[in-house]
């Protein structure tokens, strides 16, 4: 069973909005490992994830009082990190990985058609993988990664025991990985980007 996730006092977020140094430091300490694990779990390197975490916190600090009042601080931070990682990945690596070309290269029309067909094939492969999940597994994946709910929140919302939530999510993600690896000889990161896209993440 995973170790309990530390609670985040709402006062820390208010302190961050007021640019209080101690609030920033404590919030960073309480959320760093959780955010790092999130990035690594979905195929990003530890270095890229650490850089993204630091950039997220820098941007939060710069926004200060312009930050919104947040009810679920952890969910807000995970969403911010996810967007940052995907944005950086798309900008720096996605084009080169898919085409073998440097950014700025304009492919011929025939190459664009081939890429579109490959993208459609990957979408179909992903849909087939997701169809192998039970309705409960799909529900928990949506709650965890689309709505950014923690395991305890999911357990409360579904009436499931927290151990059952954890085990169901783990088995669902393991099945997706195995299916995608078996069907596609590609990097996991682009496939997980498709998962985010298909689930509306």
- 112-201 folds as Arc Repressor Mutant, subunit A (1.10.10)
Mean pLDDT of 73-97: 75
With bands split at pLDDT 50, 70 and 90, how would you rate the model's confidence at 13? very high
**Tokens 């694990």 found at:** 37
Q: Distance between CA 51 and CA 59 in Å, rounded?
A: 12
Check: pTM over 0.85? Answer yes or no.
no
The 3 state secondary structure assigned to the chain is CCCCCCCCCHHHHHHHHCCCHHHHHHHHHHHHHHHHHHHHHCCCCHHHHHHHHHHHHHHHHHHHHHCCCCCCHHHHHHHHHHHHHHHHHHHHHHHHHHHCCCCCCCCCHHHHHHHHHHHHHHHHHHHHHHHCCCHHHHHHHHHHHHCCCCHHHHHHHHCCCHHHHHHHHHHHHHHHHHHHHHHCCCCHHHHHHHHHHHCCC
Q: Where are the domains of the chain?
A: 1-101, 112-201
- Report phi then psi at 20, rounded to 5: -90, 120
With bands split at pLDDT 50, 70 and 90, how would you rate the model's confidence at 177? confident
- Which architecture, in CATH terms, is 1-101? Orthogonal Bundle (1.10)
With bands split at pLDDT 50, 70 and 90, how would you rate the model's confidence at 164? very high
């Amino acid at each position: 069973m995973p170790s309990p996730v530390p609670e985040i006092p709402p006062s820390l977020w208010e302190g961050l909005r007021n640019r209080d140094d101690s609030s920033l430091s404590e919030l960073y300490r309480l959320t760093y490992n959780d955010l790092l694990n999130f990035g690594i779990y979905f195929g990003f390197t530890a270095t890229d994830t650490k850089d993204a975490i630091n950039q997220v916190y820098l941007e939060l600090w710069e926004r200060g009082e312009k930050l919104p009042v947040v009810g679920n601080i952890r969910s807000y931070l995970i969403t911010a990190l996810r967007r940052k990682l995907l944005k950086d990945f798309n900008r720096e690596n996605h084009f080169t990985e898919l085409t073998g070309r440097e950014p700025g290269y304009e492919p011929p029309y025939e190459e664009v058609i081939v890429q579109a067909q490959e993208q459609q094939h990957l979408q179909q492969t992903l849909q087939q993988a997701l169809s192998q999940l039970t309705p409960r597994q799909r529900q928990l994946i949506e709650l965890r990664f689309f709505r950014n709910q923690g395991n305890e929140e999911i357990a409360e919302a579904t009436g499931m025991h927290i151990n059952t939530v954890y085990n169901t999510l783990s088995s669902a993600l393991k099945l997706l990985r195995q299916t995608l690896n078996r069907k596609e000889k590609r990097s996991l990161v682009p496939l997980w980007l498709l998962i985010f896209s298909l689930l509306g993440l």
